[in-house]
Amino acid sequence: AGDGEKDVLPHCNLQVYTYTCDVGKRENVYLTAERVRKEVGEVSVLVNNAGVVSGHHLLECPDELIERTMMVNCHAHFWTTKAFLPKMLEMNHGHIVTVASSLGLFSTAGVEDYCASKFGAVGFHESLSHELKAAEKDGIKTTLVCPYLVDTGMFRGCRIRKEIEPFLPPLKPEYCVKQAMRAILTDQPMICTPRLMYMVTFMKSILPFEAVVCMYRFLGADKCMYPFIAQRKQATNNNEAKNGI
């Protein structure tokens, strides 16, 4: 279905409405939210899932790509939440889901903009959760979703140490969706997939920085994004050559 169109899922007889919106632009978010309210009704479950990655080392990354990453991965959460939270507060009912990343809990080299945006999304989500609790709006639930590398092609080329890869393979999107849905339906505040990510986050919080560096080097996580960045750079160069730039 296209923008503003209605479709029907035959196997469950549900109507699905789809809209196109640049979530990095708050005016677009607010206008689309108003359309949704008029054409569909109030939103009771908000899933902030839009995400982009530039795929450049910091000093090689154009400023506009850094801004785009921050606007889509982080700022958009403010606009969508401001658009739909008021009715949730009025009804004391709803659920806000933040799809962040394991790179919103710990970082690695070469993706400074992406890590910053996801850390921002995690911080936003945690502060919002505390605000709802402080307001005693217990009917509004929040769930933070932090998956490891998902096999969608977004980070194609990313590699950890080959001896470790069998124990930490890229996650299938279907598995991540299943885990996230289970967390949402059971009102789980946070879900990390796989569970090993909880341990990595905990170790990062208690170990000295140099010990964390050693752990990264053992796992091959210190430069895991470098092959991905190299592939993106090669693809960009090929496109420029093809277009005669």
Q: Which pLDDT value is given to residue 161?
A: 95
Residue 142 vs residues 13, 59, 97, 137, 192: alpha-carbon distances, Å: 28, 36, 6, 11, 14
Higher pLDDT, 237 or 115: 115
Q: H-helix or E-strand containing 91?
A: helix 76-91
User: What's the CA gap between 118 and 148, in Å, rounded?
Assistant: 13
The total domain count for the chain is 1
Residue span of the structural domain in which 121 resides: 42-242
Asked if residue 46 belongs to a domain, the reply is yes
The pTM score is 0.91
* 3-class SS of residue 225: coil
List, in order, residues 6 or more apart from 146 with CB less than 8 Å away: 100, 101, 102, 104, 105, 122, 190, 191, 192, 193, 197
Q: Which tens digits make up the pLDDT trace of 55-74? A: 999 999 999 999 999 999 99
Q: Which pLDDT value is given to residue 235?
A: 83
Asked if residue 231 belongs to a domain, the reply is yes
Asked if residue 225 belongs to a domain, the reply is yes
Asked if residue 206 belongs to a domain, the reply is yes
* Residues classed as catalytic: 114
Please give the average per-residue pLDDT across 34-46, as a whole number. Answer: 97
List, in order, residues 6 or more apart from 135 with CB less than 8 Å away: 89
Asked if residue 10 belongs to a domain, the reply is no
Asked if residue 111 belongs to a domain, the reply is yes
Please give the average per-residue pLDDT across 78-85, as a whole number. Answer: 98
Q: 18: which strand partners?
A: 5
- In this structure, how many other beta carbons lie within 10 angstroms of the beta carbon of residue 217? 12
Asked if residue 208 belongs to a domain, the reply is yes
**Confidence grade of residue 130 (pLDDT, cut at 50, 70, 90):** very high
What tokens does 134 get?
A: 């402080």
Q: Which pLDDT value is given to residue 4?
A: 66
* 3-class SS of residue 51: coil
Asked if residue 24 belongs to a domain, the reply is no
What tokens does 160 get?
A: 């950890």
Q: Which pLDDT value is given to residue 13?
A: 75
Q: What are phi and psi of 38, to 5 degrees?
A: -75, -40
Q: What is the CATH number of the domain that holds 107?
A: 3.40.50.720
